[in-house]
Chains A and B, each alone.
Chain A
Amino acid sequence: MTDYGMVIDLERCIGCNACAVSCSQENNVSLDKQWNRILTEGGDAMDTPEGSYPENGRDGTLSMNHLPLACQHCDNAPCVKVCPVNATYKRDDGIVEIDYDKCMGCRYCMSACPYNARVFNFDDPKTLPTDGTGNVEERKQGVVEKCTFCSHRVKEDLDPACTVACPADARIFGDLDDEESTASRYIEKYETEQLLDELETDPNTYYIRGEMSPGRTRSGNELEGTEKKAAGNPNGVATDGGDGQ
C-alpha cells in the first residue's frame, strides 16, 4: 500500500512563502484564499519576532519561526467523517480529496477541521490572469476546497508543487508506508510532531523541530523512486504536471 505524507523541516524553513505562491499558481487558487499558509510563530504580525531587541549590551530575546500550514491529510480525518454526502474522502493512498461535483457547500467540514485548512468559494474565484493559472480546473462558487497534495501531479509521478518550489529543501514528500522513503526515515530519525496531536486526528504531515535534517535530497520534479522525467519547464518551475514537454 501507499500512504502519501509530508515531512516539513521547520529548522530549514526560511519563511519565504515560495511554497504558498507555487501552490496558488499550480492549483488555480483564488486570490482571496490560500490553501497553503505560512504562519509566523513570534510576534502579533506576520514576519515579526517576539521578545526584545538586545540593547545596551544586554542579551536580546528575539525569536521567530515559520510554520507552513495546509491540509494535514489526517488518517482520522474529522472532515471526512462529517461530510454528509461523501464529497470529501480519504483515498487509499492517504490523500484527503474533495469531489467538487458532490460538495453541496454545507461547510460542516470547515467546522470539523481543527487546522482551518479548508476554504469556501463564497463567490466566483478571482485569479490573475482571469482565466486561471496552473493545471487544475477552477472550482465554482459554493463548494469547499483545499490542498490535495497536488494529486494531479502525484498521478504523473511528480512531487507536489510546494515541495519542488521550496528553495530551502524543507519539504519532503513521500510514501509513509515505505520504510525506506526519505520521509519515513526522517520521521524515524528526527524529532517530529504532528500538529494538535492531542486531538487524535493522526495527520500524514510531520514537522521536524530541533535538529535540522538534510532536507529534500533530490533535485527535479519527480517523485522519489520514480523514473527521472525529461527536462522540466525551461523557466525552472514545472507547472504543467510534466505534460507539456
Chain B
Amino acid sequence: MSSAPDAGVVVPRFGTRGKAWLALLGVLIVAGLGAWAYQLQQGLVVTGMDNIFSWGLYIMLFVLFIGLSAGGLIISSAPKFFHSKRYDSLAALGVLLSLGCIVVAGLLILPDLGSPSRVTGFLTSPDPRSPMVWDFGIVLLYGLFNVGYLWLLTRRDLAKMGSRLALGVADTPAGRERDRKRAFWAAAVAMPLAVGLHSVTGWIFATQIGRGDWFNPLVAPMFIMKALVSGLALLLVTSILVDRFTRFRFPRELVPELGKLLGIFVAVHVVYLVAAERLPHAWAAHFEFWSITSAFLVGDTIHFWLWTVIGGVLPIALLAVPSLRRRIKAVFVASVAAIVGILFEGVYLIFTGYHDVNIDAAPGVTTGTGYTGLEADIWATTGSYTPTIVELLIAVGLIAVGALIVTLGLRFVPIQPDDRTPVSAGRDDSTATTAGPVATDGGRRPDGGADGEVTGDA
C-alpha cells in the first residue's frame, strides 16, 4: 500500500483520526491565544503570581520543556558521534521532538512577560552578565540547530520523495555518504550544545543568592540529569504512541534497552544526586544519628514527594525488573511517571525559592494583587501560589503548538529510515516486530510467544 514517494513518511495523509487530532490541537491553540489576549488586556493580575511568588506555571513549564528537548537530540547524536547505527530508527523522530519541545519552551517565556512587545530588548540592549541573556542565545541556537540537523538527517529522503523541503538537494549515494560524515560533525556540536543549554538554564536559578536553595552549585548538574530523564522518557512515550497510531515502527527490542537506560538515569537523578544534595545539610544541621537520617530521607513539601515517589520510586520499580521492562505498557507508564516527576521537580524548585522571604518581619511584602479597596490586606510574609485557569489555558495552548509541530513533522518529513518496511497504523502493542537494522537487546526475545512475529504488511 505504500508507494515509493511516501516511503519514510509515517503519516502519508491525515485520516479521520488525524484530522480530529489536528482539530483538537487547533481548538487548544485558539483557546490559548484567547486566554493570552485576555491576560494582555487585564495584566498578569489574572495569574496566580504576586510580588513574592513572582514566577509561576510558565517558568515551571519552561524548565520542564527545556529538559524535555534533550532526549531526542542526545539519543540521535550520541550514537552518531561513536559511528554507531544503533538508534538510527529514532534519530529523526528524536530531533523532531527536540525541536517541538524547544519551541514550546521558548514560547512559554512570552506570556510570562509583563510587556511582551519589548522582548526585542534581548537583541537591542542585552546585558551580557544576565544568565537570561545566555539562555536566550542558547535556546535560539539550539532551536535553529535542531531545524538544521533534522534537515540534514532527512534531506536525501526528502529529495527521494520529491518534496520541496529538500531545497534542491539531490538523492545520490555519494551525497548520502557525505551527509553521514556531516551528521558525525553535527553530533559533535549537538552534545556540548545540549549540555550548555541545560546548564545555562540551571544557572538562571543557581546564580541567585536571594532565593534560598536556588544558590546551589548542584543545580546545573541536576538540570543535565533531569533533561536526560525527562527527554528520554518523552522520546519513549512519543515513540510508543507514534508507533501505535502511524506507520512508524519503534523496534520492539529497543523498549527494554531504552527502559533500562531510563531506569539508570532516574536512579542517578532521584537517588544519587538528591542524596548528594541533602546529606551535607542534614548532617550539619542535626546531632543524633536518627535525626540526621530522617532529615536526610524525609522531604518537607508535597512537591518533593510527588517528584521522588511518582518520578523516582515508581519508574525505578517498573524498570528494574527485567520481565516488567520488556512490557511496552510498563515502560510507557514508567516514562509518563518520570515526566510527571520531573514536572514536580520544577515546581519544587520554584517553591523552594519563593516560599520564604529573607526579611520576613510583619507586615511583610506588598503582594501587588488582590486589591479591593482601602481596607484590603495587601501584605504577606510567605509566598503562596496556585495557577489560574488563564495560565493553564495559555500553557496548554503552547504545548499544543509543540504537538502540532511534531504532528506536521510526521506528515511531511520522512522520519522513518528508508531501508525498512512500513507497518500499518493502529497495531496493538503485542504485534511489534523484531526485524530491523538495529542491534537487539542481547538477542533476547521480547515477551516471547507470538509477540516476536514480523507483521509488516507492505
Interface residues of A (CB under 8 A from B): 30-34, 37, 39-46, 48, 67, 69, 78, 81-87, 102-108, 110-116, 118-124, 126, 140-144, 195-196, 199-201
Contact = CB atoms under 8 A, between A and B. Distances in A.
A79 to B, nearest CB: 9
B251 to A, nearest CB: 44
A32 B51 CA distance: 11
B141 to A, nearest CB: 16
A29 to B, nearest CB: 9
B118 A104 contact: yes
Contact of B54 (A78, A111, A121): A111
A108 B135 CA distance: 13
B126 A32 contact: no
A143 B208 contact: no
B172 interface: no
A185 B80 CA distance: 68
Contacts of B47: 122
Interface of B: 42-45, 47, 49-52, 54-55, 109, 112-116, 118-119, 121-122, 124-127, 129-133, 136, 204, 207-211, 353, 357-359, 361-371, 374, 376, 378-379
A71 B357 CA distance: 15
Contacts of B209: 78, 114, 199-201
Given A81-B129, A104-B116, A143-B114, A196 B359 contact: yes
Chain B facing A: main interface SS: loop
Query: Is chain A's interface secondary structure helix, strand, loop, or mixed overall?
Result: loop
A116 B358 contact: yes
Contacts of B125: 85-86, 102
A48 B231 CA distance: 52
B114 A116 contact: no
B118 A40 contact: no
A143 B51 contact: no
Contacts of A45: 362-363
B121 A87 contact: yes
Contacts of A143: 114-115
Contact of A102 (B121, B368, B370): B121
B374 A32 contact: no
B288 to A, nearest CB: 28
18 contacts: A33-B51, A37-B365, A39-B361, A67-B361, A84-B130, A86-B125, A86-B126, A102-B125, A104-B115, A104-B118, A105-B118, A108-B130, A113-B210, A114-B209, A116-B365, A120-B44, A123-B45, A142-B115
Contact of B118 (A85, A114, A119, A123): A85
